[in-house]
């Protein structure tokens, strides 16, 4: 047991926190097959399903964020934080980790706080160009801070920062399909221009509305679309389309093989979550970003602007999307020169082997 590598990975809440966490765990396991890895997440959040599905054990804390609109409800939140801190102490006492990794999200706060107080070295991974509240609070206690954007010394001590990029889902990079084969896999014409619409792991109402309000443009465009609606919106969208014939629209609630979806597409329309952006950079995929306005500190717009300022992506404001998004996308997908320059510029921003680099740092901290 003494030689065993024991690592805690904590955080979650959205796919953008969970995918990198699982990628880091997989990279540690590839380097040290003997490693014991335990995840700590927030009860009732997405990580409680996604992490076991990836083959790892997870413990849940009863933690949630502060309610900024209903301040009286925060008494219950304070109790949950206190309870989570006590549970984290027991988890850490039983598991005896040699290092802790925080990927952002509510659960990483109590977990890394307890680890730091016991002298267990901590590494935090910040996916966004605007640091999250939890990671900003933990920065003083962390030994290493892995980031994906330039200029993060605005939030963190410069001597702790390592520019690693964001770990991404492996199947995105490892697809062996040609563009034509990928389109056939989605039941589409292998020769036609294709646009992929994705709204993140939960779906995006604005992107879905932009399609529904512009079906006439889509029908006449000569372009085909892979449309990931998200589970929440899927049934209602299928009902709205059931008496209409749109062979150019491939509608699905969730895409498990994103590598094939990206390969099939000439252009992607997406929210501006950090994990998605990292994937677009690594594969050089032209993208129109529609940042979600419903995120902390408006961080998606800041992520998007980091690309737009380098001519690496197109930005459409959420409120403008229903009126302009589809028309703009159809125009761009027919412009080969524009697609080529966007692809070239976005690829320059990709940082490879992020999970491996972070895993090396975690192992170094654990075995010091």
- Specify whether 94 is located in the same domain as 148: yes
- Specify whether 69 is located in the same domain as 206: no
Give, as one character, the DSSP assignment of residue 309: T
- Specify whether 16 is located in the same domain as 41: yes
- Specify whether 55 is located in the same domain as 157: yes
In-domain check, residue 13: yes
Give, as one character, the DSSP assignment of residue 348: T
- Specify whether 180 is located in the same domain as 94: no
- Specify whether 219 is located in the same domain as 136: no
pLDDT at 12: 82
Whose tokens are 């690592």? That residue is: 7
Cβ-based burial of 44 (10 A; exposed 0-12, middle 13-18, buried ≥19): exposed
- Inter-helix orientation angle 354-366/15-31, to 10°: 60
How far, in Å, CA of 160 to CA of 185, rounded? 45
pLDDT at 201: 62
Give the count of domains, the chain: 2
Tally of CA atoms within 13 A in the half-sphere of 256 that contains its CB? 4
Whose tokens are 């977990």? That residue is: 111
pLDDT at 203: 67
Whether the Cβ atoms of residue 85 and residue 113 lie closer than 8 Å to each other? yes
How far, in Å, CA of 251 to CA of 238, rounded? 8
Beta strands 36-42; 161-163: pairing state:
unpaired
How does pLDDT run across 57-116, given as a tens digit for each residue? 999 898 776 555 666 667 777 888 888 889 999 999 999 999 999 998 888 999 999 999
- Specify whether 117 is located in the same domain as 137: yes
SS3 state at 164: coil
pLDDT at 230: 87
- Specify whether 136 is located in the same domain as 177: no
pLDDT at 284: 95
In-domain check, residue 26: yes
In-domain check, residue 340: yes
pLDDT at 66: 56
- Specify whether 82 is located in the same domain as 157: yes
pLDDT at 81: 82
pLDDT at 1: 45
How far, in Å, CA of 194 to CA of 330, rounded? 9
- Specify whether 336 is located in the same domain as 361: no
Alpha carbon 330 to its chain's center: 26
Q: Which domain holds residue 336?
A: 171-347
In-domain check, residue 1: no
- CA distances to 6, 46, 59, 218, 256 from 52, rounded to whole Å, are 18, 11, 10, 39, 16
How far, in Å, CA of 227 to CA of 110, rounded? 38
pLDDT at 277: 93
In-domain check, residue 186: yes
- Specify whether 137 is located in the same domain as 192: no
Taking the chain, what is the end-to-end CA distance rounded to the nearest angstrom? 17
pLDDT at 73: 67
SS3 state at 38: strand
pTM of the model: 0.84
368 residues of the chain, pLDDT tens digit each: 457 899 999 988 776 788 889 999 999 999 999 999 999 998 888 888 889 999 999 998 987 765 556 666 677 778 888 888 899 999 999 999 999 999 988 889 999 999 999 999 999 999 998 888 889 999 999 999 999 998 999 999 999 999 999 998 777 887 889 999 999 999 999 999 999 999 866 668 899 999 999 999 999 999 999 999 988 888 888 888 888 888 899 998 888 889 999 999 999 999 998 889 999 999 999 999 999 987 777 889 999 999 999 999 999 999 999 999 999 999 999 999 999 999 999 999 999 899 999 999 999 999 98
CATH code (residue 246): 3.40.50.2000
Cβ-based burial of 39 (10 A; exposed 0-12, middle 13-18, buried ≥19): buried
């Amino acid at each position: 047991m003494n030689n065993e590598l024991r690592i805690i990975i904590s955080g979650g809440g959205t796919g953008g926190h969970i995918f990198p966490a699982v990628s880091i765990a997989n990279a540690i396991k590839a380097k040290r097959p003997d490693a014991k890895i335990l995840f700590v997440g927030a009860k009732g959040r997405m990580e409680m399903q996604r992490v076991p599905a990836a083959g790892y054990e997870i413990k849940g804390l009863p933690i949630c964020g502060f309610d900024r609109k209903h301040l009286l409800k925060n008494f219950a939140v304070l109790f949950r934080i206190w309870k989570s801190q006590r549970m984290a102490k027991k988890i850490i006492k039983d598991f005896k980790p040699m290092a802790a990794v925080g990927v952002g999200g509510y659960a990483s706060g109590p977990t890394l706080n307890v680890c730091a107080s016991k002298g267990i070295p901590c590494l935090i991974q910040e996916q966004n160009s605007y640091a999250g509240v939890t990671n900003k609070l933990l920065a003083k206690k962390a030994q290493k801070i892995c980031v994906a954007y330039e200029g993060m010394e605005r939030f963190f001590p410069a001597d702790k920062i390592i520019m690693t990029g964001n770990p991404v889902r492996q199947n995105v990079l490892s697809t062996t399909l040609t563009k034509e084969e990928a389109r056939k896999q989605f039941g589409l014409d292998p020769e036609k221009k294709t646009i992929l619409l994705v709204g993140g792991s939960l779906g995006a109402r604005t992107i879905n509305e932009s399609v529904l309000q512009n079906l006439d443009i889509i029908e006449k465009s000569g372009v085909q679309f892979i449309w990931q609606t998200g589970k929440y919106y899927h049934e209602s969208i299928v009902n709205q389309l059931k008496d209409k014939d749109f062979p150019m629209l491939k509608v699905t609630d969730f895409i498990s093989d994103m590598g094939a979806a990206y390969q099939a597409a000439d252009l992607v329309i997406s929210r501006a979550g950090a994990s998605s952006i990292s994937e677009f950079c690594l594969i050089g995929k032209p993208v129109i970003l529609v940042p979600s306005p419903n995120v902390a500190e408006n961080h998606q717009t800041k992520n998007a602007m980091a690309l737009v300022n380098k001519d690496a992506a197109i930005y459409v404001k959420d409120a403008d999307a229903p009126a302009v998004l589809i028309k703009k996308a159809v125009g761009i997908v027919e412009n080969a020169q524009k697609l080529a320059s966007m692809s070239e510029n976005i690829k320059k921003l990709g940082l490879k082997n992020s999970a491996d680099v972070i895993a090396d740092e975690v192992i170094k901290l654990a075995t010091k």
